[in-house]
Structures are given as structure tokens and as C-alpha cells.
Amino acid sequence: MHEAAQKKTVLIVYAHQSPGSFNRAARDVAVNVLEEQGHRVVVSDLYAMNFRANATREDIKGDLKNPEPFQYGDETMHAWMEGRLSDDIVAEQHKVEEAELIIFQFPMYWFSVPAIMKGWLDRVLVQGFAFSLEKMYNNGIFKDKKAMLAFSTGASQTMFQPDGINGDINVTLWPLQNGTLHFCGFQVLAPQIFWGPAFCPAQVRTAMLDGWQARLRGLSAERPLTFAPCELFDLSFQGGFLLRPEARKEYDSHLCGLTTGHHLGKPLPADNQIKAPPQKETSGQSASTNISI
């Protein structure tokens, strides 16, 4: 394939206020490796941009459709359709449209993303642009794009084991990876987790960055994580968007649930949110062969 045809655009949504942070170093490793591979890398440095986290009336230009009560989701959907979203949101949406891969780089705050990054998710991924009830999960708007989390923790890996005091990291990541990224259709790559770098000696932090660099070089060959496909569910309000009876009957014989979230009262499938399955992709995995990132 011609070199120009292999060039892709990667968006890194970055949230850390300190230029000397480990997350900044991880971000710079990603930029360097991806640019060396010939990709175009765009960084949204949210703190440097002073990106506004609040999802408010200010995000909409012009008159509201229904001022009372103000419904942010409905109003931003109409504003997106009519080209009336605020300029900072539109700029980020253009970056998302151009990107084949989005990397979210951040320190984990309270088992989630920092407020400024949550604001990016709330304000940029509006209805219509990023999702609809007709286009969600494996049939989602961004099904031909990839996304992944790259983050540091303030706790050790053992604390996030199923028997650790913080609980299973797979459960922690489910809302972000399934409820946000996969809901919008993204093929979600396994997260890059930097366990407690603030408490590690320098050589361990260096080894973490070296491992990230090595992974980035082989990222194009990775399979996405597996999620339950929409086809297993009755996608109607009458059916309650519940698992179809025939699907439930099939999975009754399985030892584990379908996913971390769809456990069906069974043990969770091991590492469902942190490792892609080694076996051949299933029909439920929204993998794409046209993305070489």
C-alpha cells in the first residue's frame, strides 16, 4: 500500500494540568511514536485550552426550542442539526470526525475521568452527532473508529483486583468503555493502565513508558474488546430493550455472563474490560479491517 494511504489521524484528548506529569510523558510518547509511523496526531490539551467543563445554555447559539424546562440534550441535538453549537464544541467535533483513533490520556480521579474531560464527553458527544437510539453500540455512528483509555491510577494493581479493596477494575471501566465509547459505536481497544506511577521508583516509571511505546508500535494489530451486540436485544420500548428470550436461553448454559455489565447473575467473564479475546472475533465484536492504527 502506498505510504500516503496508510497515514491516519489520531486525536489525543489529554487532561493533566502539570507539564512535568507522568501523563504528559505518556502523551508525548504516543505523539512521538505515532508521528514516527507517519500518522497525523492532533492533541486537545484540555487544561491548556481552558476547555469549559460545564454543559450549559452557553453551548447553544440563538433561541432555544423549548426554554422551560431547559433540556440540555434535546437543545444541543437541535443546535447540532442547525449548526448552532458553540465554537469550542464544533472545533472538537471536527477533530473527532477526522480521527480514526482517539486516545484519552488522563489520571484517574475518583474512579473516573477528571471533570474537565467529563465535560469534553458531555459537551462534544451530543445526540445526533455521536449517537441516537437507532445508531448505538455496535451499530453506532463511530463504528468505523477506534478509541482507548490511557490513564494512571493512584493505587496499585492489586487494589483493583476482584479481591482487592477497590474492587474489580473491569467494573470500574464499564461505564466509560461501554456506556460512553462503545455506546457511540467506537471499537474500544484495551486500556493502557499505568498503575500507581507516583509511588514507583524512576526505573519502574521508565519501564511503563517503554511498554507503552512498544504497544503503540503494534497497535494496528490489536483486536477490540468484546461487547454484547445489539442483535441480542429487543430494541423497542415495548420490549424494554431487554435480552431476547432465545438469547437468554442460549446463555443460561454458560458459566459466565456475556460481559462485565451483562453478567446475568453469573460470574463476570475474566478481564472483559482490560483484555481483548485471543480467539477469533465473534459476531458480537464490532471489529473493522479498514483501520490501520
| Residue 7: band (very low, low, confident or very high) from pLDDT cuts 50, 70, 90 | confident
42 falls within a domain: yes
Number of domains in the chain: 1
**Alpha carbon of residue 37 to chain centroid:** 23
283 falls within a domain: no
- 254-265 pLDDT per residue, tens: 999 999 999 999
- Which positions ≥6 away from 291 have C-beta within 8 Å? 8, 100, 101, 144, 145, 146, 187, 220
- 37-94 pLDDT per residue, tens: 999 999 999 999 999 999 999 999 999 999 899 999 999 999 999 999 999 999 999 9
- 99-156 pLDDT per residue, tens: 999 999 999 999 999 999 999 999 999 999 999 989 999 999 999 999 999 999 999 9
Is 287:223 a contact under the CB 8 Å cutoff?
Answer: yes
148 falls within a domain: yes
Q: In the chain, what is the straight-line distance between the N-terminal and C-terminal CA atoms, in Å?
A: 14
CATH code: domain of residue 100? 3.40.50.360
- Which positions ≥6 away from 174 have C-beta within 8 Å? 259, 260, 261, 273
The arithmetic mean of pLDDT across residues 147-175, rounded, is 96
93 falls within a domain: yes
**Per-residue pLDDT at 280:** 55
**Alpha carbon of residue 67 to chain centroid:** 32
272 falls within a domain: no
242 falls within a domain: no
**In this structure, which amino acid lies at residue 46?**
L
**Per-residue pLDDT at 99:** 98
CB atoms within 10 A of CB 81: 13
Q: Regarding predicted confidence, which is higher, 273 or 283?
A: 273
127 falls within a domain: yes
Q: How far apart are CA 157 and CA 246, in angstroms?
A: 38
What DSSP string describes 261-292? S--TTSPPPTTTTTS--SSPPPTT----SS--
- Whether the per-residue pLDDT at 282 is higher than 90: the answer is no
| Residue 279: band (very low, low, confident or very high) from pLDDT cuts 50, 70, 90 | low
- 197-231 pLDDT per residue, tens: 999 999 999 999 999 999 999 998 999 999 999 99
**Per-residue pLDDT at 288:** 36
Q: Residue by residue, what is the 3-state secondary structure of 138-187?
A: HHCCCCCCEEEEEEECCCCHHHHCCCCCCCCHHHHHHHHHHHHHHCCCCE
Q: Which of 186, 151, 139, 175 is nearest to 273 (CA)?
A: 175
The domain in which residue 26 lies consists of 3-224
229 falls within a domain: no
**In this structure, which amino acid lies at residue 276?**
A
